[in-house]
Amino acid sequence: MRKLDTKQLILASHNAGKLAEISQLIEPYGFTITSVAERGLPEPEENGTTFEQNAYTKAFAAAQATGLVALSDDSGLCVSALDGQPGVYTADWAEKQDGSGRDFALAMEKVERGLAEAGAVRSEDRQGYFCAVLCLCWPDGHAEYFRGEAHGELVWPPRGDRGFGYDPVFLPTGHERTFGEMSAEEKHSWQPGSGDGLSHRARAFAKFAQACLG
């Protein structure tokens, strides 16, 4: 495991929600962070079939372009009754037909239609999980991966206007409120040294912090 010996990172993401969450999770360690979006760098084509492959594509492109160690995140929602979909295509499910951007309200409706078509009515038939894979990549191409999952149930209609993406329809196991109803602090429920956290991203970050930050 290669140790991280710099306090300056480039975040390989154009997703404002991810940037906000990762910045919040890494802030206690005193990092100076900029994003590829702030530097005007393009998004590389993500054509991998796993979260790890897509995370590496983004991180390596950012590291090569800037000469900095890059941190990326590839994440998605995997629904059991939909054979693991949308999975790595989670963001694609939100693409508008006219190509004008993403609409996660439409994406959540698509998931619900799929569940209805599958006859997934009972709670046990509506299980799924969020997965997040962090990739830390150096300019020489060396990479470390950290995976976190948060399991729960897909509810309908959406509940809450916090978070982003599919958060309003995801009810984490053991809780009565969706990610969309939780504050960022409650959703992550993690601070350095305090355990694994609740969200998939917090759990991935806990592994990252333990391995690379000491």
Give me the pLDDT at residue 194, please: 47
pTM of the model: 0.91
Q: Evaluate if residue 197 carries a pLDDT over 90.
A: no
**What is the percent of the chain with per-residue pLDDT over 90, rounded to a whole number?**
69
Tokens 């993401």 belong to residue? 13
**Ranked by mean pLDDT, which of 22-31, 74-83, 199-208 comes out on top?**
74-83
Each residue's pLDDT tens digit, 51-80: 999 999 999 999 999 999 999 999 999 999
CATH 3.90.950.10 fits 8-213, yes or no: yes
Residues sharing a CB contact under 8 Å with residue 9, sequence separation 6 or more, in sequence order: 26, 31, 32, 33, 68, 69, 70, 71
Inter-residue contact 76 to 107 (CB < 8 Å):
no
Mean pLDDT of the chain: 91
Each residue's pLDDT tens digit, 2-24: 888 898 999 999 888 888 888 88
Q: Evaluate if residue 190 carries a pLDDT over 70.
A: no
Q: Can you read off the two tokens belonging to residue 100?
A: 């004008």
| pLDDT (mean) for 174-186 | 92
Known catalytic residues are 74
Give me the pLDDT at residue 196, please: 61
Distance separating alpha carbons of residues 133 and 153, to the nearest angstrom:
21
Q: Evaluate if residue 111 carries a pLDDT over 60.
A: yes
List, edge to edge, every strand of the sheet that includes 69-79. 32-35, 8-11, 69-79, 127-137, 143-154, 170-172
17: three-class secondary structure by DSSP: helix
Q: Evaluate if residue 195 carries a pLDDT over 60.
A: no
| pLDDT (mean) for 134-149 | 96
